Amino acid sequence: FFDRKGFWTVHGDNALYVARTFYKTTAVVKYYGAEGGKSTEGARGALASAALNRNLFETALRALLLEGTEFRVEVYEGTGASWRVAKSASPGRLGQLEDE
């Protein structure tokens, strides 16, 4: 998850997973950076992205970390091209995300 200060984004396969699992549709997925400026599903080089508000972010965290057993969550903070892992958690190791 990328913390955008007020909302979060996920990218690539994670965006598709979040869209299918929590939104129940892939219509919320946007595609960026495709060759030739295209921004459609399957466009060569396109990166799938989905945005989450606070409520959906918290719902996703609960589902991934408390109900699931196979996921690891990382929250990145930063801007532009400079991002770093600010928090991480996995089932049984929730420490850094307990305040979310």
CB atoms within 10 A of CB 74: 14
Domain ranges of the chain: 2-97
From first to last of its 100 residues, the chain has per-residue pLDDT tens of 999 999 999 999 999 999 999 999 999 999 988 665 556 666 667 899 999 999 999 999 989 988 877 889 999 999 888 999 999 988 877 776 665 5
Q: With beta carbons less than 8 A apart as the criterion, state whether 89 and 96 touch.
A: yes
**CA distances (Å), origin 21, targets 10, 28, 42:** 13, 12, 20
Decide: helix, strand or coil at residue 87: strand
Q: Which CATH class is domain 2-97?
A: alpha beta
Write out the two tokens for 4. 């955008």
Q: How far is CA 67 from CA 5, 15, 58, 60, 96, in A?
A: 26, 19, 13, 10, 18
